[in-house]
A and B are shown apart, each in its own frame.
Chain A
């Protein structure tokens, strides 16, 4: 008799009508039974495709195999062999385009829920006591990591395990970068982030908060003062605006400001926490990426009556993760496709009263391969709102580059770095994450941090330091 097919296990979630007014985590995680059932679905491939789809090459079939045998501790150790931040990745990675997209099962049915299993194992370990893995003996080398976000934490953790002395310099008063200021509590609880940062610290990484590199010290000074290598992982923190009239009216926020107030500063707990935030009655969020979803769902939870997403392209081009977009729609966010703001209108007190928009239609594909939105003449209309949040993307913050002669950057302010090693044009300086790629995902930043850590380790051990920089073309030819 053929074996009965086990369906992919759904993860319990808070009901939309309930969760839209609280900041508690939406996805509740598998029960033990669900996790074990889901783990049964893994085919334990000899040549696992899923691992290749993972930017940090997590030993996926192995940790799922251990989980299946209820060897939870071993599953956690296998997971953390490649990933220093598994409870975070299990929650915010776009598995549907990475590991799960490569799962052999996905050809015929739904892929193994790798992300949910990763989360289950990581959460199990957090509840049952985190173990610090063995470390290599001290190398006597020192590395400065700039920025305590996903790239920096990953790079620092790996280097510490290799025996190097690592110091992270973080500009804000709390470590975590975008994990703390950007991603809301309901998608990534801050105690999860704190626990994973604590794990990196337990590996021997020193964390210096409130240090703005570029102001308090330059990259060159760090090198002169005894650091053997510097890794730049300062992300893309500079918010973009549209450049339309009325954008500086009171009530217009960048998504970065809105989310930083709410997440890092905990404005949703005002006045227990001191940072205030405005709650719009009718809110327009411009953009349809993950940040736009986070901002709109946050506005809703703060008490907005209506939240409108305004996006100039169509449903097919929405850059947010499918799951997050669905979550937003389920919670009652109203989406306006093919709509582009042209002006923010204010009242006599300088407050937002409406967003003037223009209808769009899709034309020929543009440089991104997506069909270009073309304005429809005479289609302007006013959307009455009292708050506008601009979620248009971010660029690298130029501050870290003060007095960093020799670091080459692109026109858009991104650092030029080798994709495989993270080496910049400035000797002994590596970079990775959004500072190189522009705003991308947590896991791609972690992958870059990991590759850089491997190269830094090899460099510090004297294995790869004959030629610092090879032009990509020359590298391809050889």
Chain B
């Protein structure tokens, strides 16, 4: 079992958990993910690593409560244990000194973009970051992102905080301003990553995205996560999760993300019926 040592509510539906997993913490690198099973009968879900502390032997996860499994995970408190925790999986981000780089995090994608931005900063890059969310309540880690960025732009779709814009608006402005951006990283919902990639394409700036496809084992065994990149089938879990956003077949990715929508709704309805708040109070 894997003990939760700390919990923080970043927003009403965005939670942070710090998990005791010394061996995973020891090897974790920016860009990698873990597979979590919350309770014994649970499903295996991939969550990107938001941070790690090798000395403390902990891994930090940030997730948004969207379905049954993440809702259940959201009921966990410090001292609780997770049934399974496997990682670090996937290939790490290629960190180098590229010069000037742009890091874009959307919604819960702000969490995994943070260790990448930090590593890029430590490697000597000039880091420009954009973080955005639908609304103010979904934003978090502005201070941490600012601490690893030379410039930070904050946006909300509804204008409730920072600039009222989608992240692609400042992205385009920065690319047009003549900033010598060598590479872009974008993590967020598929639709956001698609448009970040479309925006950067005319500027011919390589854009790395972290794909969030459906997975089961997360170790290359099942192929549930397969995507098309540059016309070839790739497994997100072992060949990714990072790919060249200009090469990804986005429509296919989004279609495949919807395969279990009906089952997800059913599971969530059943979970709510069984009174999640009561379950939460037990802890």
Alpha-carbon separation in the docked complex, A254 to B226 (Å):
11
Stretch of B3-11, B105-113, B214-222 that contacts chain A: B214-222
A350 touches B252 (CB 8 A): yes
Residues of B within 8 A of A256 (CB): 221-223
Closest residue of chain A to B216 (Cβ to Cβ) is A260
**Secondary structure of the A side of the interface?**
loop
Asked if A173 contacts B84 (CB within 8 A), the reply is: yes
Cβ-defined partner of A216 (8 Å) among B27, B83, B256, B270: B27
Q: Quick check: is B228 within 8 A (CB to CB) of the other chain?
A: yes
B41/A273 in contact, CB under 8 A: yes
Q: Are A210 and B86 in contact (CB under 8 A)?
A: yes
Q: Which residues 274-288 in A have Cβ within 8 Å of B in the complex?
A: 274-276, 278
Q: Do A397 and B219 touch across chains, with their CB atoms under 8 A apart?
A: yes
Q: A239-B222, A350-B255 are in contact. Are A215 and B217 (CB under 8 A)?
A: no
- Say whether, besides A171-B86, A215-B88, A248-B233, A260 and B252 are in contact (CB < 8 Å): no
- In the complex the two chains form, is A257's CB within 8 Å of B24's CB? no
A-B pair number, CB within 8 angstroms: 116
Chain B residues near A237 (CB-CB < 8 A): 219-221
B261 to chain A, nearest CB (A): 10
Interface assignment of B281: CB less than 8 Å from any CB of chain A: no
Contact B87 A397 (CB under 8 A): no
* Closest beta carbon of chain B to A217's beta carbon, Å: 7
Are B86 and A274 neighbours in the complex by a CB distance under 8 Å? no
Chain B residues with CB under 8 Å of A172's CB are 217, 219
Closest chain B CB from A207 CB (angstroms): 13
Q: A216-B23, A248-B256 are in contact. Are A209 and B84 (CB under 8 A)?
A: yes
Instruction: Check A266–B23 contact: CB distance below 8 A.
Output: no
Name which residue of chain B comes closest to A182, CB basis.
B221
Which residues of A from 245 to 260 have beta carbons under 8 Å from B? 247-248, 250-251, 253-254, 256-257, 260
Chain B residue at minimum C-beta to C-beta distance from A257:
B222
Which of these, B41, B86, B263, contacts A272 with CB under 8 Å? B41
Residues of the B chain whose Cβ atoms lie less than 8 Å from the Cβ of A241: 223, 233
Mark interface residues in B202-245 (1 if CB within 8 Å of A CB, else 0): 00000000000000110111111011100001000010000000
Contacts of A318 in B (CB 8 A): none
- Which residue of chain A has the shortest Cβ distance to B232 in the bound complex? A243
Inter-chain CA distance A257–B44, complex, in Å, is 13
How many Å from the CB of B90 to the closest CB on chain A? 9
Give A164-188 interface residues, CB cut-off 8 Å to B.
171-173, 181
For the complex, count residues of B whose C-beta is within 8 A of A.
42
Q: A210 to B34, alpha carbons, bound, how many Å?
A: 10
Question: Are A399 and B220 in contact, with the CB atoms below 8 A?
Answer: yes
Q: Cβ of A261 < 8 Å from any Cβ of B?
A: yes
Chain A proximity of B213: nearest CB distance (Å): 11
Query: How close is A418's CB to chain B, nearest CB, in angstroms?
Result: 27
Asked whether A210 lies within 8 Å of B85 as measured between CB atoms, the reply is yes
Residues of A with C-beta under 8 A to B233:
241, 243, 247-248
B41 CB contact (under 8 Å) in A181, A212, A239, A266: A266
Q: Is B89 an interface residue (CB 8 A)?
A: yes
- As a 0/1 sequence over residues 44 to 86 of chain B, the CB contacts with chain A under 8 angstroms (1 = contact) are 1000000000000000000000001100000000000001111
**B226/A248 in contact, CB under 8 A:** yes
B234 to chain A, nearest CB (A): 10
8 A-B pairs with C-beta separation under 8 A: A171-B217, A173-B84, A216-B27, A216-B88, A238-B221, A257-B222, A260-B217, A261-B222
Given contacts A173-B37, A247-B233, A257-B224, 16 further A-B contacts (CB under 8 A): A210-B85, A211-B23, A215-B27, A216-B24, A237-B220, A239-B222, A248-B226, A250-B255, A254-B222, A256-B221, A257-B216, A271-B263, A275-B44, A276-B260, A397-B221, A399-B219
